[in-house]
Every structure is written in structure tokens, then in C-alpha cells.
Amino acid sequence: MDIVPLGPGFAAELRGVTLADIAADDTVYAAARAAFEDHSVLVLRGQEATDESQLAFSRRFGPPEVTKVGSLGTGTHFITLTNIGPDGTVVPPDHRYALRNKANQLWHTDSSFKPVPALTSVLSARLVPDHGGETEYVSTRLAFERLDPAMQKKAENLFVWHDYAHSRSQIAPGLASPEERAALPPQCWRMVWKNPVNGRGAIYLASHAYAVEGMEVAAGKKLIDELMAAATAPGTSYVHKWKSGDVVMWDNRATMHRGRPWPAPEPRLMVRTTISATEADGLASMRPPSRQAAE
Ligand SMILES: [Fe+2]
């Protein structure tokens, strides 16, 4: 297995290895896992992933999420991200699927709004448009390390509220349905996620973040906006241009990403599996002290 760096200080391509190799072999998995901890975004090309091979690969990294209510694939381990409607044609721009794609174009990390946040997301390209539709990544680990020491210290001791309905409301009022709101109450997490393998901290924020615990609303919002802007500064991203057969996995603890638009009439179909974070991934220290004491 060769590791070829791709981005500005993070992201790498794994060559000479397949999803099946990593799923089947402990030694290959250990090497891929070490690369994941180091590089935060891993790209595998030419994989021709099926749902089964993608899930077997993903399970290596931890327990798979069950897809939430309101997403395509609810109740399974798969989320289908597409603009192809149930009748097989591309949906109009005001369709719920298209609005969801638009919400994915806000900088975020996956599942920070869930009771158990995600370690990693694995996305495979099944049908890609000829133009656009890239996924853009930034390292929130490098962003944390760019902060001055006083700001790092401050951030490490702050807790942030995340809400799915908040990010959706930025696209269209009511985009988060009453069922989604009921299933996904706001969650509070430490602003910095420390990786237990290498000890490096990363800013843990997203479009879902709306308030800082113990701070006045406007001041908290301002701090979130400033840190989001610093984390996504021009020149700091890796842009993945998808080819059919690509699989990309990323560390939701140490990156943010956003989808890029593509011409509305072009069909696109991507399948995501998502792996929940466990205590071994540093989850315990992310909980507010009140919840740590209660559990
Ligand atoms: Fe995402």
C-alpha cells in the first residue's frame, strides 16, 4: 500500500489496496487506520464499490450508523445522496432532494447533531456529473494549530450546541421536518476534539453549530463564525474531483467538508456509510462535564 499526499498538509490517496483488502486483512486495516489518523481524508480510486463491499470496509472502523428519519435510506446503514427522483428523472431545483444537496454545500462535519457523533464517513461515487459536484475538505486540526495559544486554550474549554434544524433553516424554513426535529434534539460538544492516538486537537464545528454554552447568544455566534471562517480560509482546502469508482473517507473529528454545485440537469448518485465514534476515538472528553458526571 502506497500513501500519496494530496492536499495542503492533509488528505492522501491509498494506492495498491482495495476496500476488500482492508476489510479482510488485519495488517492492511492497521496500515489504513494509521493513515486515517495521520491524513484525515483518504482517497481510494477505481473501487467499483457495492453496498456490501462498502459496508464491510466501513465496519472495520467501528459501528455503522443507522440512517435517520427523513434521509433516503432511513433504517438502513446507507444514505443515498442524489438528485434522481423515484421516477428515475432528475428532480426540479425546489425539490426536497435538491434542497438537501444545497444544505450539504454549507461547511459541516457529519452527525455532530446526533447523540453519538461520527468518527468517519465513507462516500462512494456511483454516478457523477461531468462538471462540478466536487467535495471540498479542510483540516480543522491544522486550523486549530494555526490559532494562537491563548485562543487554543480558550477553545479547548468551551462547549458548543449543534442542531440539525439550524443548518437546514439556512437553506429553507421547514426543511427539517417535525419528525426530524423530534428525533434530533440539539447536542452539546466540546469545541476541540483531541485525537487519542496522536494527541492533536481539532476544531469541532459545523453549519449545525448555533450557540456556545455559557456565552451570550450573539457573542457565541460571532466566535463560531470567526472560527469557521479561519478554518475554511482560502488556500487551505483539498477539492476532490469525483470519478466513478472513487471512494473517499474522512475523519469527522478533524475535518469539515462541503459539496460543490453542479449543473442541475445532470444526474448524480453517491452512497454514504457513516461510522459512529466510540470511547476509543476520544468521545468521552467531548461531552460536557455535567454529562460526563452523569454517565
Ligand atoms: Fe456531509
**What are 13-47's pLDDT values in tens digits?**
999 999 999 999 999 999 999 999 999 999 999 99
Helix and strand numbers, DSSP H then E, in the chain: 10, 15
Per-residue pLDDT for 93 more than 90?
A: no
Backbone angles phi, psi at 95, to 5 degrees: -70, 150
- Residue 254 Cα to ligand 1 midpoint, Å, equals 13
End-to-end CA distance of the chain: 41
Mean pLDDT (the chain) is 95
- What is the C-alpha separation between 79 and 84, in angstroms, rounded? 14
Neighbours of 26 (CB within 10 A): 9
Evaluate whether 112 touches 209 at the Cβ level (below 8 Å).
Answer: yes
pLDDT digits (tens, 9 = 90+) for 40-74: 999 999 998 999 999 999 999 999 999 988 889 99
Q: How far is the CA of 110 from the centre of ligand 1 (A)?
A: 5
Ligand 1 centroid – CA 135 distance (Å): 9
Grid cell 453519538 is found at: 116
Sign of CA dihedral 54, 56, 59, 60: negative
Q: Which residues surround ligand 1, an ion (CB under 5 A)?
A: 110
- Cα–ligand 1 centroid distance for 82 (angstroms): 13
pLDDT of residue 97 exceeding 90: no
Q: What pTM, to 2 d.p., does this model score?
A: 0.96
CA of 293 to the centre of ligand 1 (A): 31
Ligand 1 centre to CA of 108 (Å) is: 6
What's the distance, CA 161 to chain centroid? 17
Per-residue model confidence as pLDDT tens digits over 188-199: 999 999 999 999
Q: What is the pLDDT of residues 198-257, one digit of tens each?
A: 999 999 999 999 999 999 999 999 999 999 999 999 999 999 999 999 999 999 999 999
C-alpha 294 – ligand 1 centre gap (Å): 30
